[in-house]
Amino acid sequence: MPYAKPNPVVVAPDALAQLAAYCHERSHTHLLIVADANTDRALGRKLEATLLAAGLDVRKVILHGEEIIADAARVYQVMLALDGTPRALVAAGSGTITDITRFVSHRARLHFLSAPSAPSVDGFASVGAPMLIDGVKISLPTHAPAAIFADLDVNAAAPRAMIAAGFADILGKFTSVADFRLGHLLRDERYDETIAQRTYDVARVCQVNAEAIGQATPASIALLMDALVESGLCILDFGDSASASGAEHHLSHFWEMLLLRKGRPAILHGAKVGVATVLIAGIYEQVRGLSRAEVADRLEASTLPDRAAELAAIDAAYGAEAEAVARTHGAFLDMTPETYDTIKRRILDNWDEIQAIAAQVPPPAEIARLLEIAGGPTTVSELGFSRAEAALALDNGHYLRNRFTVRKLARVLGLDQERSLL
Ligand SMILES: [Zn+2]
């Protein structure tokens, strides 16, 4: 496959000593640690001490401030901390610190190592670096870390909200894998059964170990970190994030853009994904409740959405970003009545298969119960969103990607007119 994978991936109490040994073996004698004030306290100092004790030449840059955003100022700050010597960059942190380090190391052609401080997101092994460019968040293709070293004690001691967020990002795989299957079945979207199964398995492992993850036992945190890395490896192996990111992620992305636009504080990615997964699992539950005869009636009444009305909806929901969203969504906007009829026919012909896919998604109440056990938010109001903002995301989140998710299925079946989810 096109992308180099991290090797080794170490999740262990002595991970930092192993990182030092790795650097010696591969002659990475000069290093720059990137951290923020929190991750420096939790991990950076311990990492720095370990590397210095091993006789390595270590610099460290701490990104200060309440909310670290992957933007030009942060990139510049990391560049300033470099000297003329080629240095391996070590991201000592979770999502954003890793993304900033990922981007700089790629563009400066430096070796990139990841030392996660919290099991909060499945992006550690990722090649995409979401960066804020002129106010718009864009995921730039970069590279995966050459290796990952997660100190188990540090990760088990991470804030509960961050552990819950990582757990919720994994629970989202129940709906993302089901969407991955639907897209293949109904619209011939690119698919791989092994990737689907691997991604589903990580969700199952975390579901079964929810209690222990809620208590942050070291063994369960190792399971969670392994699950997050494995989900990322599935993305690398498949070549895009389709298996790990479905309608639940589209809602989360919508909310993230809304917060940015309104200048409101960011919310942990996984926290948004968890609540969105409850909502999307609700759509799967509605799908499970439909008989074949009912579906036939609904399809009979279903017509291709009007292009002008779709564009107006995108414009109203996305403002300045509407044009880019409409471009991404082009394949759906340009759909002919014939293509629409083909999808309708496929829905009816494959209704048993659709039911089998939907059966693998736990009911929304079960998703909410699991999130609660882990200590994460379960409702939109806990995230600080109004019902109107939740409805806005449900109505418009699906425009963000060119994918056939259960949200699209609900639309064809007219389920989106029945707002019983909120
Ligand atoms: Zn995610």
* Tens of pLDDT, residues 146-177: 999 999 999 999 999 999 999 999 999 999 99
Enumerate the β-bridge partners of residue 151.
Answer: 12
Where is 36: in which H helix or E strand? strand 30-36
- State in Å: Cα 245 to ligand 1 middle: 6
Distance 56 CA to ligand 1 centre (A): 35
Contacts of 107 (CB under 8 A, 6+ apart): 142
User: Ligand 1: distance of its center to the CA of 185 in Å?
Assistant: 23
Side chain identity at residue 51, one-letter code: L
- 249 Cα to the center of ligand 1, angstroms: 6
> How far is it, in rounded angstroms, from Cα 279 to Cα 288?
15
Q: How many CB atoms lie within 10 A of CB 365?
A: 13
**Interval between CA 395 and ligand 1 midpoint (Å):** 20
CA distance 277 to 100: 27
CATH topology of domain 162-417: Dehydroquinate synthase-like, alpha domain (1.20.1090)
Q: How far is the CA of 356 from the centre of ligand 1 (A)?
A: 24
Domain ranges of the chain: 9-158, 162-417
Protein residues within 5 Å, CB atom, of ion ligand 1: 169
C-alpha 116/C-alpha 221 separation (Å) is: 12
How far away, in angstroms, is 80 Cα from ligand 1 center? 31
CA 127 to chain centre: 13
CA–CA distance, 298 with 375 (Å, rounded to integer): 39
Q: CA 185, 190, 194, 200 torsion: positive or negative?
A: negative
231, 195 contact by CB (below 8 A): no
At residue 49, the pLDDT reads 98
Spacing, Cα 216 to ligand 1 middle (Å): 20
H-type alpha helices, 289-405:
292-301, 307-318, 322-328, 330-333, 337-349, 351-359, 364-374, 380-383, 387-396
Q: Is the pTM of this model over 0.85?
A: yes
Distance 123 CA to ligand 1 centre (A): 7
Same fold, 9-158 and 162-417: no
Domain 9-158 architecture? 3-Layer(aba) Sandwich (3.40)
Distance 414 CA to ligand 1 centre (A): 28
The confidence score (pLDDT) of residue 418 equals 65
d(CA 1, ligand 1 centre) in Å? 22
Mark the ranges of the chain whose per-residue pLDDT is less than 50.
Answer: 1
User: Angle, to 10 degrees, between the axis of helix 292-301 and the axis of helix 337-349?
Assistant: 170
What pLDDT, on the 0 to 100 scale, is given for residue 1? Answer: 47
Going by C-beta distance under 8 Å and a sequence separation of 6 or more, which residues neighbour residue 176? 199, 242, 243, 244, 245, 246, 247, 248, 249
Interval between CA 121 and ligand 1 midpoint (Å): 6
Q: Give the pLDDT of residue 349.
A: 98
* DSSP code of residue 5: P
CB 81 within 8 A of CB 66: no
Q: How far apart are the first and last CA of the chain?
A: 42
What CA–CA distance (Å, rounded) separates 408 from 186? 11
Q: How far is the CA of 274 from the centre of ligand 1 (A)?
A: 9
How many whole angstroms from 137 Cα to the centroid of ligand 1? 15
Distance (angstroms) between ligand 1 centre and the Cα of 295 equals 32
- 154: tokens are 């540090």
Ligand 1 center to 300 CA (angstroms): 36
| Mean pLDDT score across all residues of the chain | 94
Question: Cα of 165 to ligand 1 centre, how many Å?
Answer: 9
